[in-house]
Structure 1
């Protein structure tokens, strides 16, 4: 999953980023209000971990910015401020959860997973689309109850497709979701074609319905509806 960590305490930032990276998440960081605001305007995230007290601004204003985009991004406030008012203000503005510092990293990780399940998959541990059964936390896929072996990128693309099924998805959106800030390093997104081609081939070989449709000049659609 793609996560933005907005935290100005560098050691804590490194600790959280490292732990969540080991959990197969793509984590981007922002040290202050201005850099976080810029990232929120440019990129989409599955989850934003947000400290309220930031250099150059207030984290509550970042919640407003995310909600003004009408984004599906989940928001978890992580703050050392124990003020009840801050918690209520953040939740009233649209934050999904509040975790006071200090906290255990496994608890933070569990809350992120629960939030993403609620926002993208109706809270289900297993996502079922016809003959496809997908377990995001275990990174496991079954086709007609038989395991399907995917690379890490193929798995992430399939999750992204299913979360956005029946929508047209631009190649640039796939690259930004999977590669984050590194997306700017690519001159073009042709390499996405190979990842999607390999994923589609594996699905078809497993006798899965051909859900992946190419949209010429734009990207793809994971069509589960006629």
Structure 2
């Protein structure tokens, strides 16, 4: 399992992903789940992945190969004229990989399933954020749905829903996502450190701030401990239950 979030702000985009994958309780490893393609001044694209590891790596591998191809026989994310077309290209690649890998007519939501979050900007277009499903279709973030989660998302969603503000800074968004990830890490062992984080400044058309948050990171430890203490204080400050009321 995994947990990835793409968050849309007025200032740009924030991405965060864990790195844990496990085939069984005693077969746990770390794999990168955040990938970036950049042509400064023209486009900056970031992709987060969740699901079957072989499927997601095959999709990323095809996208990488086709982005370096010397001919135009296969579509490339560097040639797509808009983020919408990049999302469509990735969706088609997901369907292609699943169709080739599937045995016995299994569908995208079965063994070979994979989901993605795509965000970034292409010159002449707006900053955009998409969620791509195993079936190859996709949706775009809006004012009403300003963030996407894939993987083990239920534990970290409440804090995002309650505290998100489109006007928040990148630093505030990072703090918000770290609280969301801390809640998930404490609730599900299939999500784990290190965490990868990236900012994208709208209009920059280049890679922004990046950081890997390792085990025993001082700031993440402070966030985790501080959030736990704050929850206890908030709980104790609530009015007591009166069975006679």
Alignment TM-score, normalising by the size of structure 2: 0.36
Between Structure 1 and Structure 2, which shows a larger proportion of strand residues?
2
Bigger relative contact order, structure 1 or 2 (CA pairs below 8 A, ≥6 apart): 2
Flag the structure with larger Rg.
2
